[in-house]
Amino acid sequence: SWHSVRSEFERREQCSYQIILSILHSCLERGLEDSWWESVKRGKQLIVYPAHVPRVIMEPAIPRKKIQLHLHLDGSVRPSTAWELAKEKGIKIPGVTNFEEFKKACVASNPSTLWGFLQHFGVFWPPLCGDLDALERNAYEFCEDAHKEGVIYAEVRYSPTSSLGDKAFKEVGPQGYDEVIRRISFGLKRGEHDFGVKTRTILCGSYCEESNDLYQTLRLCQAHYYEGVVGMDLLTLQQEHGIIDEAPLVEPIISVYQEAARTSVHRTVHAAEASGAYAVHRAVYGLGSERVGHGYHVLEEPEIYKKCLEDRIHFECCPHSSLLTGSVKTGGKTHPIIRFANDGANFSISSDDPTVIGHNVQGDYALLADWGLSEDLMAQANLNAVHSSFLDAHDKHDLLKILKKDNVR
């Protein structure tokens, strides 16, 4: 009944009048007549459908507008799109005979290792790899999905090397990387125009002892700035067994990151996700990285963590993936993200690889709410994200105005 709903409002003293109106407005959209809505605005009693309102009220308090800084575009593929393309191209997935099995195979349903987590890309990425039309389509569909989640700005990252693929590279050569970037950028621009989601891109370079594509990645960053490429990322490739130290201080990584800094290419590094706290120190103070991807294990070394707090080093955090990659063993109040928030660390919230996780960023916010993170701290994480983004000052100012307006309830 409405009386029980009203009691719920009274028990939630922090719930402002604007929030109440937004809840009732959602009820109106489900079928209430305009005359009843006018009564609400005049302060009169309203009879509502009991099945609807409690569901709305009990949703966790989550900011409506969101910023994402750590999001892999090649991990943000609609399963329906990948399945459609796989059927068109005759690509067979072992053990998969229908769409439901395909969707299930895309998702890492149980905690594993980072290597095990990444094996799921082998299910949904082959139908898109090397297909320029598919890559552009995926970029566009990402913007549509992000809009539905309330994302107003995202820095999406991807590897031009893995996007082009070996087969296409043999056919077209290095210029294929440039065309991949142009087509993905065009898809993002179309998505920004149609859905209002601002995006910029970060190009990922990978390193292992046997090979790397870092010089190529830096060249592409420098060449495609005016197509929205704002920075580069370093992925230290892991193996099935054992852990490879992230952000190693070796050539060519050192030279590439020094050259990136000299040419105003922004820098982030995956660190302390698979390996320990010293990866953060190497990334930030050895390579000059401006941000850290994940960074959860920094808490293992209090002195390194203290210096990161003092220097306002930004941690790009991804709640669900932190568990599914095995980086963090348990969630709840002891999770590093909760510690970051309570310590006033400079951190943000992103979804990492929505296709592998099985949901978009709204689910990550809901998980943090379940762990006890307040809406105010979530809102602060979004402000952190703007300040630590790779945007120019003017664009940052515009985003801050949107977020501050959204937080006035």
Query: What does the pLDDT profile of the chain (409 residues) look like in tens digits?
Result: 334 434 443 444 444 444 444 444 444 444 433 433 333 333 333 333 333 334 334 567 899 999 999 999 999 999 999 999 999 999 999 999 999 999 999 999 999 999 999 999 999 999 999 999 999 999 999 999 999 999 999 999 999 999 999 999 999 999 999 999 999 999 999 999 999 999 999 999 999 988 899 999 999 999 999 999 999 999 999 989 888 999 999 999 999 999 999 999 999 999 999 999 999 999 999 999 999 999 999 999 999 999 999 999 999 999 999 999 999 999 999 999 999 999 999 999 999 999 999 999 999 999 999 999 999 999 999 999 999 999 999 999 999 999 998 765 4
CB 199 within 8 A of CB 153: yes
195: phi then psi, degrees, rounded to nearest 5: -120, -5
For residue 154, the 8-state DSSP code is E
Of the CA atoms within 13 Å of residue 51, those in its CB half-sphere come to 2
How do strand 198-207 and strand 151-158 relate by DSSP bridges? Answer: parallel
The domains of the chain are located at 2-57, 66-406
Centroid of chain to Cα 324: 15
Q: Does the bond joining 54 to the residue before it have cis omega, within 30 degrees of 0?
A: no
* pLDDT score at 59: 63
CB-based burial label for 159 (10 Å; 0-12, 13-18, 19+): buried
The CATH number given to 66-406 is: 3.20.20.140
**Residues annotated as part of the active site:** 273
**pLDDT for the residue 6:** 40
**CA 145 – CA 370 distance, rounded (Å):** 23
Strands 229-236 and 198-207: parallel
